[in-house]
Amino acid sequence: MTGTITVNALSGGSNTYNLNISNTNAPTSYRMQGNDRSGSIALATPNPGITVNVGDTLNFILDETSTDYSFAIQKTQDVGGNYQGHIAFCGRTTGNLSGTGNIGGYDLFLGIFDPERWTAEYYNQGSGFNDKAMNVHDIHGTIDDTLALVYTSFGSVNNSATFGSEDIGLITFNYMTDTWSQGFSTGSETSEEIEQNGKPSSRLSDGRIGVVCNTAGAFADDANTFGLKDMGLGIFDFDSDGFGNYAGWSKYQVGSGSSDFSYSLDQNGSTFLVTGYSEATWDKGVSGVFVEFDPERGFKGRTSGS
């Protein structure tokens, strides 16, 4: 059998399903007849998929007249594993949410909430200084059973490198093994700060995660600077080409001769969209700023308004 058994979260009690199995006239596949959570399973369908909920019972009834049986069930985790349907959230704490103690002034924390049981699990991570988790992404499509947290830090989060007085970073958490990766920080020789307002990060369809910040130094890979504060964009690449080619961070910045601040980041297909504020004149307007950035071509389209 090459079909799959999908087990969903608890919902509305448990059921029992009887499936009659035969490989007569189908030596390379199994035929099943019965029902599952999705409805009836036709006997004419080879190697069907089966959908049940946690707590359901499946009875496989073998046809004794069939020959050449090698029927077995191989257990694998469905997408999301045991946490399918749960809610992940993050932030900062000065306390002991996870039961393992506080690491620094502020620790970043991850919470995973189970809406069926109304309970949550908490996990702390950080450095000896202040660390804040700003956003969380489910990256199961890139790395199995894994969440990625975007953070800002004054120290070395889980053996990450340090660059200046404040850095941005990304760290992953495997929710099946309860393990953190190394922290992946990046920055300049001065300060990179993520604003408290807005949406600080976004994920492209190929798995790359973009993070916006305000930089006071030469943040970009080409060491380009524009003013007292620039809008910074870091893009973290786990494996966007699908061949295991880990690329890490690429960094860009844009601004004027004065101070420019980025507040929020979104994406449109393969393009990042940055919104912010400027204290200088960009295109005849002073105030709100909108930047469209294409990471494939390095193109920065800028507009501003009152």
What are phi and psi for residue 82, nearest 5 degrees? -70, -5
Q: Write down the pTM of the prediction.
A: 0.71
Specify the pLDDT at position 225: 92
Contact 263/275 with Cβ under 8 angstroms?
A: yes
Distances 236 to 34, 115, 239 between C-alpha atoms, Å = 47, 31, 9
Per-residue pLDDT of the chain (306 residues; tens, 9 = 90+): 556 777 777 666 788 999 887 766 555 566 788 898 888 887 777 777 788 888 888 888 876 665 555 565 654 443 355 677 788 888 988 888 777 778 888 899 999 888 778 888 899 999 989 999 999 998 887 888 899 999 999 999 999 999 999 999 999 999 989 999 999 999 999 999 998 778 899 998 888 999 999 999 999 999 889 989 999 999 999 876 666 667 789 999 988 888 888 889 998 878 899 988 888 766 555 567 778 888 777 666 666 554
Specify the pLDDT at position 78: 38
CA 274/CA 200 separation, integer angstroms: 9
Residue 165, token pair as written in the block: 């007085």
Specify the pLDDT at position 76: 42
What are phi and psi for residue 102, nearest 5 degrees? -90, 135
Distances 199 to 33, 163, 303 between C-alpha atoms, Å = 49, 24, 19
Specify the pLDDT at position 283: 56
Specify the pLDDT at position 114: 81
CA 57/CA 18 separation, integer angstroms: 8
